[in-house]
Amino acid sequence: MILILVRHGITPWNEERRIQGLTDVDLSAAGLDQVRRLALSLKDFPIASIYSSPLVRARKTAEIINEFHQAPLHLSSDLTEMNHGDFEGLTIPELMAHHRDFLRKWLADPASVGMPHGESFLDVQTRVWKVIEGILANSRNALVVAHNFTLASILCRIKNLPLAEFRSLCVDPASRTVIRFCNGSADIELFNDRPYLNGGQP
């Protein structure tokens, strides 16, 4: 079976380098354009079902992709982005300026160090992987639309990497990552692929 992982298109907060987490920020005009191009690149993929975070930036991405497929669309709160707690809404420069010591600790051990009044990365991976297990049990091609940390947690699990190495597996907005599962093994055929955003062929 094929599993396609998609990150939602960009939002105004992505453009401002602001931490959005569970904050329900919509796609920007540029994000909508990205998603329409992404949807065209996926129109000929055989997709039996689509799973999405219910946050509007992901849900809208999933709905636009699904215009070409009319597949069952399942919204799951387990696919939402990491709860960044007290850091929601801060810009990256603000985070670096005022919380550098915490960030050092978190980057060294994101699995167990939780965001203040939020989640740890392991919390995220645990809830997200429940959804992936259900998808794999169905053994039918599926597409998942989610978020930066959500998708990185899936890829860490698939590649059997510790969560502290997640930065090598982060994907860009409106990208697609294609994974083929066969006989208990997983092969990543495309990673963070998005030539369609620059006028390239799907």
pLDDT at 198 (0 to 100): 85
pLDDT at 202 (0 to 100): 53
> Is the CATH number of domain 2-195 1.10.3720.10?
no
pLDDT at 201 (0 to 100): 55
Average pLDDT over residues 54-70: 98
Give yes or no: 81 in active site: yes
Q: Determine the Cα–Cα distance for residues 127 and 66; give it in Å rounded to an integer.
A: 24
Asked which of 33-37, 97-101, 129-133, 197-201 is least confident by mean pLDDT, the reply is 197-201
pTM: 0.95
pLDDT at 27 (0 to 100): 98
Answer for the pair 5, 144: CB distance below 8 angstroms, yes or no. yes
Q: Which of 8, 69, 84, 147 is catalytic?
A: 8
Average pLDDT over residues 118-137: 97
- The enclosing H or E element of 49 equals strand 49-52
Q: Which of 81, 84, 88, 147 is catalytic?
A: 81
Give yes or no: 133 in active site: no
